[in-house]
Amino acid sequence: MLQKMSSILVVGPQSEAGQIVDTLYQEGTVHLVDLAPGAAPGPGELRRIDEAPAVEVDQLLLKVNGLLKLLPAGPGEDVPLEDVGADLRGRPLHEALALVRGRLEGLDAITLERSNRKADLELTATTLERYVRILRRLQPIEDALPELEGFEMTVLLLQKEYAHLFEEILPRLREITHNQFEYISAELDETTIAAITIFNKWYSREVHAFLFSQNVNEVRIPPDYANMPIDDAIASIGRRQEEGHEEIGRIDAELAALSSRWRRELRGMQRFLEEQRNELAVFSRFARTDYTFMARGWIPKRSIPSARERLRHAFGERVVLSEVPATPGELADAPCCFANPFWARPFEFFTRLMGSPKYQEVDPIPFMAIFFPIFFGLIVADIGYGLLIMVLALVLRWRFPDREWLRQLSMIFVISAIPTIVFGFLFGEFFGDLGETMGWLHPVTIAGVEWNRMEAMIPLLILAIAIGVFHILVGLGIGVANAIAHHNRRHVCEKCGMIAVVIGILVALLAVIGLLSPPLMILGAVLIAVGLPLLLWGGGVRGALDIMGTMGNIMSYARLMAIGMASVMLAAVANELAGAVGTILVGGLIAVVLHLMNLVMGMFSPFIQSVRLHLVEFNSKFYEGGGHPYRPFGHHPES
Amino acid sequence: MAWEVPIGAAIAFGVGAIGTAWAQSRIGPAGAGTIAENPELVGAAIILLAIPETLVILGFVVAAMIIFMI
């Protein structure tokens, strides 16, 4: 369900505009609307607030974020220092920004210098490591190298996925050097292949020009190392590497010391600057006269006392928050703020697929929270799969606690696993027919029907269609409620007419096939006769044609039975195959693989089909959508 | 059971399946293109892909009715 929203106007002295905006930001419950969309900055009775100096805030935030990236985070060092934020918030913006700039000045220079030096040393270490590998490859032919007077050596490097290019490059080099060319190719590391090439110096210019044109990475051993025995060169490089590692260690220690001294303060500054950036970004939505500042927005009715109290505490009677009556047009555009009970909240995830409902619409989320798990459970209906889905979803929830959408999705699976287990018990399924075969379970008999999904096809089909009828009638009922809320008589008649016609057709059909007593056929005909004119008046010819669509929608619920049956058949096949194999180990392995495959399909396909039944069949009976989600102005962690 | 019954059921189910496959073969690439342009629409694309499955489901229902009711 949706919370009651109030349209509010905040009025205060223009001289305190910045602090008022900051207070509203800290309160974090006002969904701002553009107060004067037509007004321009400049003189006039009501005008927009000129663009505030956001560039400087952005620059400082960039600097702080950069420093936080460079300074390593130690334990507990990512908690913002609250004193810093409080101190900065207590000052005028320009003074606070100057203070931040001053604090960053020295730190910025030293951190950058040390980080650059570390990056240089790491790059050098990588290059030296590469030289060592190349020199080791050259060791076997070291004795021949002095004879290569008049020859030049160069090393070509290629990523492994482009190794086939050597086949094009090397013959071409042979051609350029008139066959005065040799090479050894070898793997340099996990990703790179090297070709050490030796060719006559006479063709040096042409060879390098060709390699340059082919964009091949060429490495030349520095003369310092090239002119000494390979063992000495490797030892010399080793000494340099060691010196580099020592210096990197020293820099790391310096950066860690800087981090423990500064990181929490930087987090405090970051939080303050982000707040200022968010506040400045919405400044153009506010308006002012010469002496007055105004902000307009929507706020949940129950949050009004808290917002009023905060403003009164900060400004006394100088700032007033008043409720203003909203016009029907404004009400239609009001943001929708969900106030669902805890068991329905995860299902707000589906607004990502269908958009937000309009403020004056009936919220479909609680209905989805009731029907979705039932549909999912009816399709999967297996105690073993239900337990596994629950465990997997809980692991997912525990593993990614910060991702709101994943938490909601995993909770939907946890809730849906409960009816899965219940229906699994009713149908006597534990990893397909394993439970029944082992004598642990047996399908329950209700109303004279043994609910074994592999045998009771027609009763299941009837059950699925009956659920479809009920679900569609609920959808049409909500459509009536929406039409009444919008005072739209035609829609009320259309929806009521459709309900009467659908019930009339079903009663008549059941009477024809003998499931209801024949006189009830007259009741069906009466319902159709009453419903059809209402439908025609409310929805026109399109409304009448929609009868076929609605009946098709009802038949579509047959998927609840059909997809479930496919799933149980696959599970039975997994058990059958496993049983047919002579050895327990291989049979068990086959069963595990097939059941896992079925489980993945069982999580994906029933989910999609249940969503589809809601979004296509159910929602089309009442849902308009296109509403604005409630986005309060304030600090909200990323989800 | 006369031979026409399973043949009829097979036609009902098979034609429905072919219809679904044809529709999904058109929706799939369009959905993939949509996701490439705007990854946020992945949910909508998957739902659109599931819509033509009604055809095969209805085919299945008719096939079941042919086999069990005739």
Q: How far apart are CA A503 and CA A462, in angstroms?
A: 16
CA distance A57 to A626: 35
Q: What is the C-alpha to C-alpha distance for residues A29 and A304, in angstroms, rounded to an integer?
A: 9
Question: For chain A, which residues score pLDDT lower than 50?
Answer: 638-639
Domain at A133-233: CATH architecture: 2-Layer Sandwich (3.30)
Within 10 angstroms of residue A164's Cβ, the number of other Cβ atoms is 9
Which residues from chain B sit within 8 angstroms of residue A623, using beta carbons?
Answer: none
Torsion angle of the four alpha carbons A372, A376, A377, A379, in this order, in degrees rounded to the nearest 10:
140
Asked if the C-beta of B32 comes within 8 angstroms of chain A's C-beta atoms, the answer is no
| Beta-carbon separation of B58 and A352 below 8 A | no
Question: What local confidence, expressed as pLDDT, does residue A478 receive?
Answer: 93
Q: Which residues of B touch A457 (CB under 8 A)?
A: 64, 68
What CA–CA distance (Å, rounded) separates A406 from A400?
7
3 state SS for A184-228 = EEEECCCCEEEEEEEEEHHHHHHHHHHHHHCCCEEECCCHHHHCC
Hey, is the C-beta of B7 within 8 angstroms of any chain A C-beta? no
Domain assignment of residue B17, given as a range: 13-69
pLDDT confidence of residue A49 = 65
* A537-588: pLDDT as tens digits: 888 888 888 898 899 899 889 888 888 887 787 777 778 777 777 677 888 8
Q: B14: pLDDT confidence band, cut at 50, 70 and 90? A: very high
User: The tokens of A305 are what?
Assistant: 């006392």
Contact list, B53 vs chain A (CB under 8 Å): 559, 609, 612
* Selected residue with higher pLDDT from A579 and B29: B29
User: What residues in B contact A555, CB-CB < 8 Å?
Assistant: 54, 57-58, 61
- Examine the pLDDT at B11 and tell me if it is beyond 50: yes
- Choose the closest CB to B61 out of A353, A558, A563: A558
Q: Are A162 and A104 in contact (CB under 8 A)?
A: no
Nearest CA in chain B to A464: B61
Q: Who among B50, B58, B68 is closest to A612 (CB)?
A: B50
Q: What is the largest CA-CA distance in chain B?
A: 53
CB contact under 8 A, A458 and B64: yes
A206-221 residue pLDDT tens: 888 888 888 777 777 7
B51 to chain A: nearest residue by CA? A612
Neighbours of A187 (CB within 10 A): 13
* DSSP structure string for A250-319: HHHHHHHHHHHHHHHHHHHHHHHHHHHHHHHHTGGG-EE-SSEEEEEEEEEGGGHHHHHHHHHHHHTTSS
Q: Which of A286, A294, A297 is nearest to A41 (CA)?
A: A286
Q: Are A579 and A490 spatial neighbours (Cβ–Cβ below 8 Å)?
A: no
Which residue in this structure is represented by tokens 């495959």?
A: A597
pLDDT top residue among B18 and B53: B18
Compare all CA atoms of chain B with the CA of A563 and give the residue at the minimum distance: B57
Q: Cβ of A556 and B43 within 8 Å?
A: no
How buried is B34 (Cβ within 10 angstroms: 0-12 exposed, 13-18 middle, 19+ buried)? middle
Q: Hey, where are the domains in chain A?
A: 133-233, 361-621
A390-437 pLDDT, tens digit per residue, is 999 999 889 888 888 888 899 999 999 999 999 999 999 888 888 888
- B50 CB neighbours in chain A (<8 A) are 608-609, 611-612
**Are A28 and A636 in contact, with CB atoms under 8 Å apart?**
yes
Q: Does B42 touch chain A (CB under 8 A)?
A: no
So what's the pLDDT on residue A374? 95
A108–chain B nearest CA distance, Å: 38
* Enclosing H/E stretch for A7: strand A5-13
Q: Interior CA angle at A510 toward A505 and A511, to 5°?
A: 100
Most distant CA atoms of chain A, gap in Å: 113
Report pLDDT for A437: 81
Q: How many CB atoms lie within 10 A of CB A485?
A: 11
| Within-domain flag for B58 | yes
Tell me what pLDDT residue A268 has. 87
By residue count, chain B amounts to 70
Say whether residue B39 is in contact with chain A using an 8 A CB cutoff. Answer: no
Bridge partner residues of A252 (DSSP): none
- Say yes or no: B46 contacts chain A, CB-CB below 8 A: yes
Number of domains comprising chain B:
1
Write down the pLDDT at residue A639.
45
Q: Angle formed by the axes of helices A489-512 and A457-485, to 10°?
A: 160
Asked if residue B7 belongs to a domain, the reply is: no
Beta carbons of A294 and A95 less than 8 angstroms apart: no
Q: Closest chain B residue to A562 measured between Cα atoms? A: B57
Contacts of A563 in chain B (CB under 8 A): 57
Spatial separation of the C-alpha atoms in residues A413 and A180, rounded to whole Å: 69
User: What sign results for the dihedral spanned by CA atoms A273, A274, A275, A280?
Assistant: positive
Position of tokens 């003189």?
A43
